[in-house]
């Protein structure tokens, strides 16, 4: 396999920081060469609340990935999460220039610029401008208008933005850990890259990455995203409820949730018992497993009701392919059944696919965002639109990427 470029993804989450190093082959295949996962400290609900702790977590994760791969990391694609992430769709139209009245790349770029010029509050920073589709002289459903004869070109773009201060704090932490940022990618879109098929995106599908502190949600139709949002709930809320309900520590509650918990109450009998250590008591006590699962089910039901409310704002009739659940907290037993009941649509739990290399541990829902960052980066190479690589000096990873691009597009 001829190596084309080496890409790095860093997913800075509420519960863990994960760094993946992957190489892209000539045919666009991804192979993971190194990964480093460490417990994350310094974040709350996906947002940096302590710079020093976050920098330490990122640096440790990066160092582990470097040791495993023998590769020095200098730049990376970095995931952005947190409730401050918002999105909107904006149209733009221009008259086609040039004497032959054929749509050129310049016309496309001008139309996108017009669509971008929507007023976004100065407190928000634009992360993505994704093209949703074009109209050529009123003809809808055009995916790529280049070279078409037309007088008027319209485009609709999906703009994803995040709080400027939250984005700056995250960037500061990544840079302080010795890593430059190739691109900041909304976590939901990264996860979508890892777990959704092209057919699902065409039909209309949602992806919900249920993490420890947040749910990253993106909805797709006609092959592109039309709504991106983050809900401030996640697996930690379930653990907290169990800890409070049983008067036990968060650590014990987390273990109970993972080992004995399920959202499917029908699968639990009344006589099943588990022993629990209780705060302030020497000897533990035994409790019914059903009691634990009722607490878990109630919180997860409420969580899916929030997801349903968010989806109905966007028009959930647009999602015939249903919803794909991923993220660490989607691994809780019975999650898919409960989601089907509450959301009333097809549900599947997905792990990242389409990568080779050191992947056994990575093919679980918890790594969807990290793997998706690599897929996103590889897609940027293949599309022939190198991301922000032109202006920086050709050194290290950058020079390698530029050479790689030149070899594909001489």
pLDDT digit string, tens, across residues 293-310: 999 999 999 999 999 999
C-beta of residue 374 within 8 angstroms of C-beta of residue 31: no
What per-residue confidence (pLDDT) applies to 381?
A: 76
What per-residue confidence (pLDDT) applies to 28?
A: 78
What per-residue confidence (pLDDT) applies to 361?
A: 78
Question: What is the pLDDT of the chain when averaged over all its residues?
Answer: 89
pTM for the structure as a whole: 0.89
Minimal CA–CA distance to 376: which of 20, 135, 62, 38? 20
Q: Domain ranges in the chain?
A: 86-163, 197-349
| 404 pLDDT above the threshold of 50 | no
What per-residue confidence (pLDDT) applies to 363?
A: 87
Q: How many CB atoms lie within 10 A of CB 219?
A: 27
Alpha-carbon distance of 349 to 365, in angstroms, equals 8
Minimal CA–CA distance to 265: which of 334, 325, 347? 334
Mean pLDDT, rounded, for 333-346: 96
SS3 content of the chain, % helix, strand, coil (to 5): 40, 30, 30
What per-residue confidence (pLDDT) applies to 397?
A: 43
Q: No. of H helices and E strands in the chain? A: 11, 19
Show the tokens assigned to 19: 């760094």
| Rounded (10°) angle between helices 187-195 and 368-382 | 80
| 359 pLDDT above the threshold of 50 | yes
Residue positions counted in the chain: 410
Alpha-carbon distance of 64 to 71, in angstroms, equals 11
Which residues make Cβ contacts (< 8 Å) with residue 295, sequence separation at least 6?
238, 241, 242, 245, 246
What per-residue confidence (pLDDT) applies to 383?
A: 64
Architecture of the CATH domain 197-349: 2-Layer Sandwich (3.30)
Q: 3-state class of 206 per DSSP?
A: strand
176-227 per-position pLDDT tens digit: 999 999 999 999 999 999 999 999 999 999 999 999 999 999 999 999 999 9
DSSP for 394-409 reads --HHHHHHHHHHHHH-
What per-residue confidence (pLDDT) applies to 356?
A: 83
Of 32 and 399, more confident: 32
| 284 pLDDT above the threshold of 80 | no
CATH no., domain 86-163: 3.30.1490.110
Q: 3-state class of 301 per DSSP?
A: helix
As a whole-number percent, the residues of the chain with pLDDT over 90 amount to 77
Torsion of CA 53, 59, 64, 65, to 10 degrees: 130
Mean pLDDT, rounded, for 154-164: 96
| 324 pLDDT above the threshold of 80 | yes
Q: Element (H or E) spanning 203, and its range?
A: helix 198-203
How far lies 321's CA from each of 207, 208, 318, 380, in Å?
A: 10, 13, 9, 26
| 70 pLDDT above the threshold of 60 | yes
What per-residue confidence (pLDDT) applies to 394?
A: 30
Residues paired with residue 94 on neighbouring β-strands, in sequence order: 153
What per-residue confidence (pLDDT) applies to 333?
A: 95
Minimal CA–CA distance to 241: which of 325, 332, 327? 332
Kindly provide the b/e burial profile for residues 40-71, where b requires at least 16 CB atoms within 10 angstroms of the residue's own CB. Answer: bebbebbbbeeeeebbbbbbbbbbbbbebbeb
Mean pLDDT, rounded, for 310-331: 90
| 243 pLDDT above the threshold of 80 | yes
């Amino acid at each position: 396999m001829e190596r084309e470029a080496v890409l790095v993804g860093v997913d800075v989450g509420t519960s863990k920081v994960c760094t993946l190093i992957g190489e892209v082959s000539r045919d666009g295949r991804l192979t993971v060469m190194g990964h480093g996962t460490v417990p994350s400290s310094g974040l709350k609900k996906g947002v940096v609340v302590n710079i020093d702790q976050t920098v330490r977590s990122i640096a440790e994760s990066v160092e582990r990935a470097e040791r495993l791969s023998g590769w020095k990391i200098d730049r990376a694609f970095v995931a952005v999460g947190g409730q401050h992430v918002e999105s909107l769709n904006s149209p733009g139209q221009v008259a086609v220039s040039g004497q032959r009245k054929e749509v050129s790349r310049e016309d496309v770029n001008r139309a996108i610029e017009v669509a971008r010029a929507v007023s976004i509050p100065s407190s928000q920073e634009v992360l993505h401008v994704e093209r949703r589709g074009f109209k050529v002289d009123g003809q809808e459903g055009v995916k790529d208008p280049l070279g078409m004869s037309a007088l008027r070109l319209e485009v609709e773009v999906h703009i994803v933005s995040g709080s400027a201060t939250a984005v700056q704090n995250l960037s500061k932490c990544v840079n302080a850990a010795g890593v430059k940022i190739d691109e900041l990618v909304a976590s939901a879109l990264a996860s979508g890259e890892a777990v959704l098929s092209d057919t699902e995106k065409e039909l209309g599908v949602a992806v919900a990455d249920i993490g420890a502190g947040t749910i990253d949600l993106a909805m797709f139709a006609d092959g592109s995203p039309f709504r991106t949002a983050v809900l401030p709930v996640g697996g930690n809320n379930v653990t907290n409820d169990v800890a409070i309900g049983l008067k036990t520590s968060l650590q014990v509650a987390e273990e109970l949730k993972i080992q004995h918990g399920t959202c499917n109450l029908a699968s639990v009998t009344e006589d099943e018992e588990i022993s629990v250590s209780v705060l302030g008591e020497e000897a533990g006590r035994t409790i019914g497993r059903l009691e634990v699962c009722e607490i878990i089910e109630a919180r997860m039901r409420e969580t899916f009701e929030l997801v349903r409310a968010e989806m109905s704002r966007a028009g959930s009739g647009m999602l015939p392919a249903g919803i794909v659940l991923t993220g660490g907290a989607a691994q809780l037993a019975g999650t898919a059944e409960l989601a089907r009941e509450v959301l009333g649509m097809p549900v599947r739990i997905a792990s990242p696919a389409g990568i080779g290399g050191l992947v056994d541990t990575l093919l679980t829902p918890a790594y969807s965002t990290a793997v998706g960052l690599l897929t996103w980066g590889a897609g940027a190479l293949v599309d022939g639109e190198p991301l922000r690589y032109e202006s920086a000096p050709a050194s290290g990873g950058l020079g390698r990427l530029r050479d790689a691009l030149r070899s594909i597009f001489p």
